[in-house]
A and B are shown apart, each in its own frame.
Chain A
Amino acid sequence: MTWPALVIIALGTYAMKAAGPVVLGSRTLPDRIVALFGLLAVTLLAALVAVSTFADGRSLSLDARAVGVAAAAVAIRLGAPFVAVVVLAAATAAAVRALGG
């Protein structure tokens, strides 16, 4: 990592974060459009969950991480609070790794 690279990523990321709030400002968009952006946001978040669960660089793998996230999904289904879900995921993945999974 170099400082110029860091600054380019930081400026680019900030510009993309700020684009919506700055351009739209206090204008009210039609509900349909807001709902569409919301749907897009959820879709991208889901993709991020999937990739950070199964991707290892550019290959896919079913490892301790996936077991941890699966345990978390069950806990979410049962209505567990956020922190319990996160701790369970980490503890499960750690246990699977300790057992050599």
Chain B
Amino acid sequence: MRSAERRILRDGVAIGVAVGVIGASFGVLARTAGIDPLMACAMSALIFTGGSQFLAVTVVASGGGILAAVIGGLLLSARHIPFGLSLAPVLRGSLAKRLLSSQLVIDESTAFALSQPTPELGRRAFYTVGITLFCCWQAGTALGAFAGGAIGDPAAMGIDAAFPAGLLALMTPRLRHPDARVAALTGAGLALAATPLLPAGAPILLAGLGVFAGLAIRRDGGR
């Protein structure tokens, strides 16, 4: 048990720091899109979910309009409802504690917590990643937004490949179960198929239907 806890602390801090670099690329993107650095920092502190932040800034920068940015950002954020529900065994405690912890519910903390074998380790994983990532995300955003010119072009450094790669690494332990694998692949396929057809943010929600493919496998006795 002790070594499992040490591993979670070590990996959790590494995850938080690595993803903080993506926060810097958000700051640079916001700056390039002409968004005030203070506003970029406020987005990272108050919205605190990379996906919706990138989506909103990209939509505005490409002339999509504020309304499209708000709708897209909220659609993409809707995935946090099942994230929060699946984390219920992990996020126990007083109402105040749960209200505070809720802001830390993000892709990486959810994926890392759900990949742990017990709720106790899941809780440790959730808070280690959540708190480290929150701090690094703010520092990264500020660095990118205020000093973006000195950092260079995030795309040239391949930062855009870091987010999906990191998320894939975090969720891989869950994919050992056949039902999760089938649900994940179906969801990914649905989201890609829907990308050209639906407004930004919506394909991820549609992907939720992939769960039924996973449940069918489970009923077949796959697990």
Q: A37-B82, A47-B207, A83-B14 are in contact. Are A22 and B95 (CB under 8 A)?
A: yes
For A17, A41, A64, the residue with the greatest tally of chain B CB atoms inside 10 Å of its CB is A41
Among residues of A, the one whose C-beta sits closest to the C-beta of B184 is: A46
Tell me, in angstroms, the Cα distance from A49 to B162 when the chains sit together: 10
| Given known A-B contacts A21-B102, A24-B85, A69 and B66 have beta carbons under 8 A apart | no
The interface size of chain A toward B, counting residues with CB under 8 Å, comes to: 74
Residues A1 and B107 in contact, CB atoms below 8 Å apart: no
| A:50-75 near B, CB below 8 Å | 50-55, 57-60, 64-65, 67-69, 72-73
Measured in the bound complex, the distance between the Cα atoms of B157 and A68 in whole Å is 11
Please measure, in the bound complex, the distance between the C-alpha atom of A42 and the C-alpha atom of B113, giving whole angstroms.
11
Is the Cβ of B87 less than 8 Å from the Cβ of A18?
A: no
Indicate with 1 or 0, residue by residue over B61-74, a CB within 8 angstroms of chain A CB atoms. 01000100110011
Q: How far is the CA of A91 from the CA of B11 in the complex (A)?
A: 20
Q: Does B135 contact A (CB under 8 A)?
A: no
| A91 and B158 in contact, given A16-B80, A42-B175, A81-B11 (Cβ under 8 angstroms) | yes
Instruction: Count residues of B near A (Cβ-Cβ below 8 Å).
Output: 98
A31 CB to closest chain B CB (Å) equals 9
Q: How far is the CA of A27 from the CA of B161 in the complex (A)?
A: 39
Interface 0/1 of B165-196, CB less than 8 Å to A: 11111111011000110011111111110011
- Of B69, B87, B103, B188, most buried by chain A (CB within 10 Å of CB) is B188
Q: Is the CB of B165 within 8 A of A51?
A: no
Residues of chain B within 8 A (CB-CB) of A50 are: 164, 187-189, 191-192
Other A-B pairs beyond A5-B69, A49-B171, 19, CB < 8 Å: A1-B57, A1-B66, A5-B70, A6-B46, A13-B52, A14-B102, A19-B85, A21-B102, A22-B102, A37-B82, A38-B114, A44-B204, A45-B184, A47-B210, A48-B191, A69-B165, A83-B14, A89-B165, A90-B165
11 residue pairs from A and B, CB less than 8 Å apart? A5-B56, A9-B69, A13-B52, A16-B77, A39-B180, A40-B82, A42-B175, A44-B207, A47-B188, A57-B58, A67-B161
